[in-house]
């Protein structure tokens, strides 16, 4: 029997676009749920009129929180899989059949829309950060994921039910990729159009990027520790891992991640020594890298280069303020944050 699939849309102050998105989505699936948590522009009412089922949450809780509520509702409503699509028109609903086709061929996989093939349409700063993000997130998820930041995805609900998700806001979608990938789930990318409009973003570049970076770095450091000493395979996710335990309390979690980020560079050097010298003693160390032929030196190099990349970006910004356009960082990023799976 074919999977029952619904579309869920987190929407926050999306009154300009939500009618069009819901109407176009309804051409492809019969059930659409929009979750609105405190929009002040009539988003919920417009979505309802367009034919969506609307979940109203009193105050603003962020994209991740709302997504988790949508997943829960979809499970209760008896669906097998959900497609998530943004409310601001950045994804083309005409691509829904491609997601469903990919799901029918690979029902256990997460299907992610990738916009990386349309680099010229993506704002340069965004593309560069997506490039660096996928380098680290792919390592944590045990596979190359072309676009780790796209919100247009299909998730099998049986898989989501089996993950403990502790984050909120914009981190949750990264958390799902990492935890699912580190459990052995295949994350499959299909081409998706890159649409950048001026409908406004709620993403806070410094705050949200810092939060995602903290989560990913902490996960990686814990994963490589575990690979050496506890697990006997490259997949290390377990329900009672330290990220899930600390994640139950926001303050503890922030504190824990802050400490790990501060010590991450010296830890990376210690890991490199362990990688080079202790394979015979710590038998399974860096299993996820060794089995793929990925050299730890490339990860060390990328991590040491990161502060310089940030400095170049700041320098380029300063130069552009006085009218000088420099684009030196793009090549740098391509070189130091490659796809380790296909090129190693
Ligand atoms: N319900 C809800 N949706 C949100 C919230 N923040 C973002 N979204 C939705 O998540 C999607 C992506 O958010 P956006 O701010 O456009 O992020 P960007 O595309 O990464 O810049 C859009 O559909 C937003 O309406 C939120 O706090 N609550
Ligand atoms: Mg957007």
pLDDT in tens, 5-25: 999 999 999 999 999 999 999
Do 153 and 232 belong to one domain? no
> 15 in helix, strand or coil?
coil
Q: Whose CA is nearest to atom 18 of ligand 1?
A: 201
pLDDT (tens digit per residue) in 274-293: 999 988 888 889 999 998 99
Residue 19: both structure tokens together: 């009618």
Q: How far is CA 250 from its chain centroid?
A: 20
With CA atoms as reference, report the closest residue to 37 among 8, 11, 72: 11
| Domain count of the fold of the chain | 2
pLDDT confidence tier of residue 344, bands split at 50, 70 and 90 = very low
Q: By C-alpha distance, which of 152, 67, 171 is closest to 113?
A: 152
Mean pLDDT for the stretch of residues 110-136: 95
Q: Are residues 156 and 182 in the same domain?
A: yes
Among 153, 182, 199, give the residue marking a domain's end.
199
Distance from residue 197's CA to the centre of ligand 2 (Å): 8
Do 155 and 95 have their domain in common?
Answer: yes
| DSSP 8-state secondary structure symbol assigned to residue 120 | G
- Which residues, including other chains, have CB under 8 Å from residue 331's CB and lie 6 or more apart? none
Last residue in a domain, options 165, 199, 233: 199
pLDDT winner (highest mean) among 151-155, 246-250, 262-266: 151-155
Q: Are residues 189 and 250 in the same domain?
A: no
pLDDT tens for 154-171 read 999 999 999 999 999 999
The answer on 73 and 57 residing in a single domain is yes
35, 128: one domain: yes
Task: Looking at the structure, tell me whether residues 195 and 254 fall in a common domain.
Answer: no
Three-state SS string across 54-111, please?
Answer: EEEECCCCCHHHHHHHHHHHHHHCCCCEEEECCCCCCCCHHHHHHHHHHHHHCCCCEE
Six token digits for residue 170: 């914009």
Instruction: Tell me the sheet residues that pair with 189.
Output: 112
- pTM score of the predicted model: 0.95
Residue 170 shares a structural domain with residue 249:
no
Which residue range forms the structural domain that includes residue 265?
A: 207-343
Domain check: are 218 and 149 in the same one?
Answer: no
How do residues 172-219 score in pLDDT, each as one tens digit? 999 999 999 999 999 999 999 999 987 789 999 889 999 999 999 999
Q: How confident is the model at residue 301 (pLDDT cuts 50, 70, 90)?
A: very high
Could you tell me the pLDDT band of residue 90, with boundaries at 50, 70 and 90? very high
Q: What is the pLDDT of residues 23-74, one digit of tens each?
A: 999 999 999 999 999 999 999 999 999 999 999 998 999 999 999 999 999 9
**Ligand 1 centre from 9 Cα, in Å?**
9
CATH classification at residue 29: 3.90.550.10
Verify whether ligand 1 is closer than 6 Å to residue 85 (CB atom): no
Q: Show Cβ contacts of residue 307 under 8 Å, excluding neighbours closer than 6 positions.
A: none
Rounded mean pLDDT, 85-111: 97
- Do 37 and 174 fall within a single domain? yes
Sequence-distant (≥ 6) Cβ neighbours of residue 260 within 8 angstroms? 214, 217, 218, 221, 222, 267
Whether 96 and 238 share a structural domain: no
| Residue 111 Cα to ligand 2 middle (Å) | 19
Give how far the C-alpha of residue 1 lies from the chain's centroid of Cα atoms, to the nearest Å.
30
pLDDT of the residue at 231: 64
Is residue 14 within 6 Å of ligand 1 at its C-beta?
yes
Q: Are residues 61 and 157 in the same domain?
A: yes
Pick the last residue of a domain from 199, 231, 252.
199
């Amino acid at each position: 029997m074919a999977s029952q699939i619904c579309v869920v849309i987190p929407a926050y102050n999306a009154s300009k676009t939500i009618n069009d998105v819901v109407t176009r989505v309804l051409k492809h699936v019969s059930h659409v749920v929009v979750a609105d948590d405190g929009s002040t522009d009539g988003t919920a009412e417009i979505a309802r009129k367009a034919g969506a089922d609307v979940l109203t949450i009193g105050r603003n809780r962020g994209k991740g929180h709302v997504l988790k509520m949508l997943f829960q509702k979809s499970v209760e409503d008896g669906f097998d899989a959900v497609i998530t699509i943004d409310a601001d028109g950045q994804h083309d609903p005409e691509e829904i059949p491609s997601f469903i086709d990919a799901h029918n061929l690979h029902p256990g996989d997460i299907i992610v829309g990738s916009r990386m093939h349309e680099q010229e349409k993506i704002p340069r700063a965004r593309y560069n950060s997506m490039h660096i993000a996928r380098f680290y997130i792919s390592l944590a998820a045990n596979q190359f994921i072309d676009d780790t930041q796209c919100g247009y995805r299909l998730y099998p609900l049986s898989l989501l039910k089996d993950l403990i998700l502790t984050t909120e806001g914009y981190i949750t979608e990264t958390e799902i990729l990492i935890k699912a990938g580190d459990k052995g789930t295949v994350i499959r990318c299909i081409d998706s159009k890159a649409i950048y409009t001026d409908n406004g973003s709620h993403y806070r570049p410094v705050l949200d990027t810092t939060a995602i970076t903290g989560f990913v770095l902490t996960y990686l450091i814990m994963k490589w520790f575990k690979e050496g000493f506890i697990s006997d395979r490259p997949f290390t996710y377990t329900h009672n891992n330290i990220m899930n335990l600390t994640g139950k309390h926001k303050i503890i979690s922030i504190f824990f991640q802050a400490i790990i980020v501060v010590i991450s560079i010296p830890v990376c050097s210690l890991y490199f020594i362990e990688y080079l010298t202790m394979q015979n003693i710590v038998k399974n160390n860096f299993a996820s890298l060794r089995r793929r032929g990925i050299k730890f030196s490339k990860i060390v190099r990328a991590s040491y280069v990161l502060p310089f990349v940030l400095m170049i970006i700041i320098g380029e910004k300063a130069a552009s303020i006085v009218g000088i356009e420099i684009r030196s960082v793009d090549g740098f990023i391509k070189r130091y944050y490659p796809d380790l799976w296909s090129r190693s």
